[in-house]
Chains A and B, each alone.
Chain A
Amino acid sequence: KQEVTQIPAALSVPEGENLVLNCSFTDSAIYNLQWFRQDPGKGLTSLLLIQSSQREQTSGRLNASLDKSSGRSTLYIAASQPGDSATYLCAVRRETSGSRLTFGEGTQLTVNP
């Protein structure tokens, strides 16, 4: 059974700091991994999707890496801003396309002005 763990559970940083969020998964037979952002009481916004054959994806100040063999992914946020404050979730999809996602518990990020 796939298990996804995110560390740390919560993180508080001053504005402008670069930071790394970690995601690990127990079964490396994944199809892809996706990072989401969730604001309090809201739905999920897709940030980055990494296919199993890819090593990283970038979007603006965000960079996600994937090491499938070791079961790890990181989300790097450069020059953090108060508007980045949210919960960040990673989710993995098994190798069979269309199968369900397994989510981590999330990292609650607070960026202080």
Chain B
Amino acid sequence: SAVISQKPSRDICQRGTSLTIQCQVDSQVTMMFWYRQQPGQSLTLIATANQGSEATYESGFVIDKFPISRPNLTFSTLTVSNMSPEDSSIYLCSVSGTGIYNEQFFGPGTRLTVL
């Protein structure tokens, strides 16, 4: 299994500002994933972050809005830029376990409210 921590756990931000969310994993992993969960909805993948290369974004998500860093095999950041109330969501960091089973593990999430 993997233990994932995220900072901050929650934040309330003003429209037009940016917030950077940190994700720390207790073991080295190749891929890290960032998901968004809008109120009352299921999870949507934002992007996949590989160490040493640019993140791969899903349809509907762009690097200018959600820049991602992946400086090493245990850490990643997601920035939500130029926020609007529509960005109010839970943002979740996730990794796949090692081995053939590819069990997915999630962090505790960052609850973001944009006023």
Contacts and interface: CB of A to CB of B under 8 A. Distances in A.
B83 to A, nearest CB: 19
B103 interface: yes
A98 B109 contact: no
Contacts of B103: 34, 46, 49
Interface stretch (A13-21, A62-70, A72-80, A103-111): A103-111
Contacts of A101: 43, 45, 104
B21 interface: no
A98 B56 CA distance: 13
Contacts of A91: 43, 104
Given A98-B31, A100-B33, A100-B45, A42 B102 contact: no
Contacts of A89: 42-43
Contacts of B111: 41
A32 interface: yes
A59 interface: no
A98 B42 contact: no
Given A49-B101, A98-B31, A101-B45, A41 B106 contact: no
A103 B92 contact: no
Interface string B18-55: 00000000000001010000000111010010000000
A44 B96 contact: no
Contact of A32 (B58, B101, B108): B101
* Chief secondary structure at chain B's binding surface: strand
A41 B101 contact: no
A113 interface: no
B90 interface: yes
Contact of A42 (B4, B58, B109): B109
9 contacts: A32-B102, A34-B103, A42-B109, A43-B4, A46-B104, A49-B101, A100-B45, A101-B43, A103-B42
Interface of A: 31-32, 34, 36, 41-46, 49, 51, 89, 91, 93, 97-98, 100-101, 103-106
Interface of B: 1, 4, 6, 31, 33, 41-43, 45, 48, 58, 90, 92, 94, 96, 100-109, 111
